[in-house]
Chain A
Amino acid sequence: MDINPILLLAALMVASTPILLAAIGELVVERSGVLNLGVEGMMIVGAVCGYIAGHSSGNPYLGFVGAAAAGAALSLIFAVLTQFLLTNQVATGLGLTMFGLGLSSLIGQGAKGSPDLTVSKLHIPLLADIPVVGPILFQHDVMVYLSVAIVAGVWAFLKYSRAGLILRAVGENHDAAHALGYNVRAVRVLAIMFGGACAGLAGAYISLVRVPQWIDGITAGAGWIALAIVVFASWKPWRLIAGAYLFGGVTVLQLNLQAEGLKIPVEYLSMAPYLATIVVLVMIRAGRAPASLGKSFHPST
């Protein structure tokens, strides 16, 4: 066995980033009281749109912008259906995932990429040269740091800003928020679009950095893991990092074990990250969900 722990930990951060991005978006959506099960669908549409935008423009960052826009656009369908036509959120979210998987296949037909397009790794001065810690923490691409920055930003937004307070209030008791004169629908539509944009970024990270190429079904259930991790984190931003890195860690570890030729069927190793997520979800006591989560709101007088 010669798995290099430094490389393993560095790879862990990369493997965790798409899940963290998708999960932080869904966390905001759920804190506003909406359950969007379409994360997987928005992710994969983001993956294909990001891939095409990135490769056709030759700029991977334009790819990420395109992916975020595509994710947000797809989530807008969900927003209109659930917030204005009052469809069931669970069914609509599942439908969005199915739709997204099919749509991405269609868009991605014949999508071509060039091998030259890479997202460069940063080499943060001084910090990156620290032994052990440097390669693990400070030699990644900008999206890894952006994902952590978004988590920090969401945390501060929810805790300190008035808009964050209103968002939490809407998720907690939409009738009371309405009675106080807040626009429940507008808050939720914005939250859903933020969630869609984050899911789009997450998808593009897979197709532009992690894999990096376009294949059908490339997200492989990462959107569902992101949903599970939001519960795991008890709807608290910082805990998302622990959840995402746990899943990412098991993923990277099982890949390394496969490469080592461990005498366990490959299928068991591939299952490991998902099993680990379920085991953790069963063992921890989930915190209190936003009280209005998943309930339709109608502003009747």
Chain B
Amino acid sequence: MTLLDLQGLTKAYPGVVANSDISFAIGKGQIHALLGENGAGKSTLVKTIYGLVRPDAGTMTLEGAPFTPTDPRAARAAGIAMVFQHFSLFDALTVAENIALGMENPPKQRELAQRIREVSENYGLPLSPDRIVGDLSAGERQRVEIIRCLLQDPKLLIMDEPTSVLTPQEVEILFGTLRLLASEGTSILYISHKLEEIRALCEHATVLRLGKVVGTCDPRETTSRDMAELMVGSTLMTPKRDSETLGDDVLVIEGLTAPAPHQFGTALKNISVSVKSGEVLGIGGVAGNGQDELVAALSGEMPVSAAMVSLDGQAIGHLDPNTRRKIGLCAAPEERNGHAAAPDMTLTENALMTAKTRLGLSKNGFLDWASARDFALSVIDGFDVRTPGPETAARALSGGNLQKFVIGREILQKPRVLVVNQPTWGVDASAAAAIRQALLDLAGEGSAVVVISQDLDEILEIADRFAALNEGTLSPAVPTAGLTMERIGLMLGGAHDMEAAHVEA
């Protein structure tokens, strides 16, 4: 039984064909995966189904009848519901108000609150209707979106990258809900580039590349590697080290303690660890356990006592970011738009901002635009950043491309120490592999690299040693070779070795 049939959908934007002659069908009660790299045309296709984009050519058929939604309301009325990648929620409003906004004819507040409680219990998604959305965790916010969809009894539920912000436990809960929905006859279009998840959840996959359907498969019987190569269109490389020669300690953190910088921050408590030349240190932990604060203390955004951080024996804890860059410590924070890069400025300007000191791109207070442009071009070429040129605004780049640019910009400054936070967050498989390889190459050239990440597989893949960050304290670093997931779980939970229990009560 086919629910939604797409025939020859085409949509072109100036300069790029986002969707080209796309045809596939989604069956009733089917969990259908839509796979593709960033820029493959997944978002455009989904927006077409949801009525946000009108196709240039092609037809859609919903349950045998022509389906041409003019806006999201029409799509919702026809039984299409969508959970967005970037949650379309209103922080200052309550859960119930947010849900009411997504419904055509919401019932009275009290009745709605009752229905929210029913649905949240039936599908194992605990949620209180009276809470303010701004106070919820990422997982809870996603539940708001899902319940908003479920209250309308959708025929097709579209999930756009739903697990990128969830903890493993939350992912399990979500999958349970989706399987239950599918068993009740709801079709699900699941968009992701996390292949293991698709293999665990979906029964059919359509793969897009550069706006075209390049293949279909049954994810349960296809390996992740085969699917990834179908997505990328070429063989996927696994990051590997050329040489592993460790030198002396380069970065030494000694008793790093700092109060929480703001109300929702985490205090750093007596963190001590050192990183050798040529070594990659992976720091794992659930978000909000001090990652941002640790990066700020290392990059110089949050100055600490001089002796707490030292580089090649020189105490640098009190220095500002530019002075640290000059000495050789570069950093790339987690948030690409607005922290690592200024969204409305060009790539050249963004390159200038961190590379100015180290590469001497300004003289006597005047900027050397020619050299800055050359540097930006070398980042673009060296790290395969897909962009029309260095004069493009940073915000115009897709997440993966901007991330490659940000990491490349720091790596090409040849730092003694590079600190990166979530280097491959929201980045597709091939870009992530390229970034990881670049980090390993940098270590291979004798730099010390600190990778802070919530992606444990990533840390196990590239780090030499692993340490867990938990409520602002850091466990002792242990070699990643032979480290089991069980042991990592214990470290993340805060059950450190006894000698590490230097947490003040």
Contacts and interface: CB of A to CB of B under 8 A. Distances in A.
B88 A172 contact: no
Interface in B61-99: 71-73, 76, 84, 87-93, 97
A178 to B, nearest CB: 9
B91 A180 contact: no
A168 B88 contact: no
Interface residues of A, number: 18
B90 A176 contact: yes
Interface string A233-267: 00000000000000000000000000000000000
A168 B93 contact: yes
B52 A301 contact: yes
A176 B82 CA distance: 13
Contacts of B47: 301
A69 interface: no
B101 interface: yes
A176 B133 CA distance: 14
B10 to A, nearest CB: 15
B100 A172 contact: no
A288 B132 CA distance: 13
A195 interface: no
Contacts of A165: 93, 97, 100-101
B72 A176 contact: no
Contacts of A291: 91-92
B296 interface: no
Nearest to A172: B90
Interface string A257-301: 000000000000000000000000000000010110000000001
Interface residues of B, number: 21
A162 B53 contact: no
- Which of B47, B51, B92, B102 has the most chain A CB atoms closer than 10 A to its own CB? B92
A172 B100 CA distance: 15
A182 B87 CA distance: 16
A157 to B, nearest CB: 14
Contacts of A176: 87-90
A181 B89 CA distance: 13
Contacts, number: 51
A56 interface: no
B124 interface: no
A179 interface: yes
Contacts of B88: 173, 175-176, 179-180
Contacts of A179: 52, 72, 84, 88
B288 interface: no
Given A162-B106, A301-B47, A172 B91 contact: yes
Nearest to A288: B92
A169 B90 contact: yes
Nearest to B51: A181
A166 interface: yes
A243 B59 CA distance: 58
Nearest to A179: B88
A181 B73 CA distance: 6
Contacts of B90: 168-169, 172-173, 176-177
Contacts of B100: 162, 165
A142 B92 CA distance: 36
Contact of A168 (B52, B73, B92, B106): B92
Interface in A172-208: 172-173, 175-177, 179-182
B52 A180 contact: no
A50 to B, nearest CB: 36
A173 B89 contact: yes
A179 B92 CA distance: 17
Nearest to A166: B101
A210 to B, nearest CB: 36
Interface string A154-176: 00000000100110110011011
B19 to A, nearest CB: 13
Contacts of B51: 181
Nearest to B100: A165
A169 B93 contact: yes
A175 B52 CA distance: 12
Contacts of A169: 90, 93, 97, 101
Contacts of B101: 165-166, 169, 177, 180, 182
A15 B407 CA distance: 61
Contact of B72 (A168, A175, A180, A290): A180
Nearest to A175: B88
B152 to A, nearest CB: 12
Contacts of A173: 88-91
A182 to B, nearest CB: 8
Contacts of A166: 101
B111 to A, nearest CB: 14
Nearest to A289: B92
B211 to A, nearest CB: 16
Given A180-B101, A181-B72, A301 B89 contact: no
B260 to A, nearest CB: 20
A72 B71 CA distance: 30
B72 A172 contact: no
Contacts of B72: 179-181
Interface in B25-80: 47, 51-53, 71-73, 76
Interface of B: 47, 51-53, 71-73, 76, 84, 87-93, 97, 100-102, 106
16 contacts: A165-B97, A165-B100, A168-B92, A175-B88, A176-B87, A176-B88, A176-B90, A177-B101, A179-B72, A180-B72, A180-B102, A181-B72, A182-B101, A290-B92, A301-B47, A301-B53
Given A165-B93, A168-B97, 7 more contacts: A165-B97, A169-B93, A176-B87, A176-B90, A177-B101, A180-B72, A288-B92
Interface of A: 162, 165-166, 168-169, 172-173, 175-177, 179-182, 288, 290-291, 301
Top 6 nearest A-B pairs (CB, nearest first) are A176-B88, A181-B72, A181-B73, A172-B90, A179-B88, A181-B71
